[in-house]
Amino acid sequence: MKKLILTGLITLMSCSMGINAQSNPPKKGILLITFGTSFPEARKTFDHIDEMFKKQWPEVDVHWAYTAKFIRQKLKGQGIHTDSPAEALAKMGEAGYTHVAGQSLHFIPGSEFHDVLKTVEAFSGIPKGIEKTTIGSPLLSDHQDMQRMANFICETFPASDNKKEAVLLMGHGSHHDANVYYPAFQYYLDELSPDHFIGTVEGFPLLDDVMSRLDAGGYQAVKLVPFMSVAGDHAHNDMAGNEQDSWKSQLEAKGFEVEIVMKGLAEYDEVVEIWIDHLKEALDAL
Ligand code: CO
Report how far ligand 1's centroid is from the alpha carbon of 234 (Å).
7
Question: Using one digit for the tens of pLDDT, what is the confidence trace for 254-281?
Answer: 999 999 999 999 999 999 999 999 999 9
Report how far ligand 1's centroid is from the alpha carbon of 144 (Å).
26
Spatial distance between the Cα atoms of 87 and 68, rounded to a whole number of angstroms: 13
What are the CA-CA distances from residue 24 to residues 122, 132, 255, 262 (Å)?
A: 21, 13, 66, 47
Q: Residue 105: what are its φ and ψ, rounded to 5°?
A: -95, 30
Report how far ligand 1's centroid is from the alpha carbon of 174 (Å).
9
Question: Using one digit for the tens of pLDDT, what is the confidence trace for 104-116?
Answer: 999 999 999 999 9
Half-sphere exposure of 219 (CA within 13 A, CB side): 28
pLDDT reading at 15 higher than 60:
no
Spatial distance between the Cα atoms of 272 and 153, rounded to a whole number of angstroms: 13
Cβ pair 127, 98 in contact under 8 A: no
Question: Using one digit for the tens of pLDDT, what is the confidence trace for 85-135?
Answer: 999 999 999 999 999 999 999 999 999 999 999 999 999 999 889 999 999
Global confidence as pTM: 0.90
Q: Residue 231: what are its φ and ψ, rounded to 5°?
A: -90, 85
Predicted pLDDT of residue 161: 82
pLDDT reading at 4 higher than 50:
no
Which residue among the candidates 63, 99, 106, 172 is catalytic per the annotation? 172
Clarify whether 172 is annotated catalytic.
yes
Among 125, 47, 119, which Cα is nearest to 89's?
Answer: 119
